[in-house]
Amino acid sequence: MPSGKLILASASPRRRELLGRLGVEFEILPADVEEFEEGHGDPEGMVRHNAALKAAWVADRSPDRFVLGSDTTVHLDGRVLAKPADLDDARRMLRSLSGRTHIVYTGLALLCRSGGVEVVAGARSEVTFKPFDDAVIDAYFRIVDPLDKAGAYGIQEGTELIIESFVGSHSNIMGLPLDETKELLARHNLL
């Protein structure tokens, strides 16, 4: 039988903050896995796979607990923009996003080995960037560390510099779609 608090299989401070908004008690145990990041392919399938991979790693170590895994990526022109390797890569990503609309995909996985629960879901949002130049990118980098963010940006800081609009879940763009997460947790009596 499942027992104890939910475990979030992520070290992301944004996911920790977002999950905290739901009022659920949880612990954090980051999954020690190598995420699959296919540059060309199915971004929605990739984030769902990675979310399940993270949740499975933690669930294997805590089989009587519910575990929530999540993964987010940015998709533009048939390519996945994962976390940048360095500042030059981050600058390249932002240049490619300037003045364009891209899609943010997040995968969610809720697992409990002893309870036989294995649910994978996801969310999708569209983000349109303002056109901008390198001076704006430099100003943005003074506010935001782009290296730990898919697509080299976060919607919660410096928004006025780069983002024109978005359609869909704001929290999805941050890395954890709250409506989908709340529904998933409520379905399994975790809220």
For CA atoms 142, 83, 34, 4, the dihedral sign is positive
Whole-Å CA distances, 178 to 31, 100, 124, 182: 21, 25, 12, 6
Q: Using the predicted structure, report yes or no on whether residue 160 has a pLDDT greater than 80.
A: yes
Could you say which of 32, 60, 64, 71 is catalytic?
A: 71
What is the C-alpha to C-alpha distance for residues 12 and 7, in angstroms, rounded to an integer? 13
34 CB-contact burial (10 Å; exposed 0-12 / middle 13-18 / buried 19+): exposed
Q: Is residue 62 part of a domain?
A: yes
Amino acid making up residue 158? G
> Domain holding 118: CATH number?
3.90.950.10
Q: Is 71 a catalytic residue?
A: yes
Q: Is residue 119 part of a domain?
A: yes
Question: What integer is the mean pLDDT of 139-159?
Answer: 93
Q: Is residue 81 part of a domain?
A: yes
Q: Which residues, including other chains, have CB under 8 Å from residue 190's CB and lie 6 or more apart?
A: 6, 24, 66
Q: What is the number of other CB atoms lying within 10 angstroms of the CB of residue 56?
A: 19
Q: Is residue 1 part of a domain?
A: no
pLDDT confidence of residue 34:
86
What residue numbers bound the domain in which 54 lies? 6-187
Q: Using the predicted structure, report yes or no on whether residue 136 has a pLDDT greater than 80.
A: yes
Q: Is residue 182 part of a domain?
A: yes
pLDDT confidence of residue 54:
97
What is the C-alpha to C-alpha distance for residues 171 and 12, in angstroms, rounded to an integer? 13
Whole-Å CA distances, 181 to 18, 41, 107: 10, 25, 10
**Range 116-119 contact pairs with CB under 8 angstroms and sequence separation of 24 or more:** 117/2, 117/66, 117/188, 118/52, 119/184, 119/187, 119/188
Q: Could you tell me the pLDDT band of residue 41, with boundaries at 50, 70 and 90?
A: confident
Tell me if 157 sits within 8 A of 141, measured CB to CB: no
Q: Could you tell me the pLDDT band of residue 82, with boundaries at 50, 70 and 90?
A: confident
Q: Is residue 111 part of a domain?
A: yes
pLDDT confidence of residue 37:
76
- DSSP code, position 101: E
Domain count, the chain: 1
pLDDT confidence of residue 2:
66
Q: Could you tell me the pLDDT band of residue 99, with boundaries at 50, 70 and 90?
A: very high
Tell me if 11 sits within 8 A of 31, measured CB to CB: no
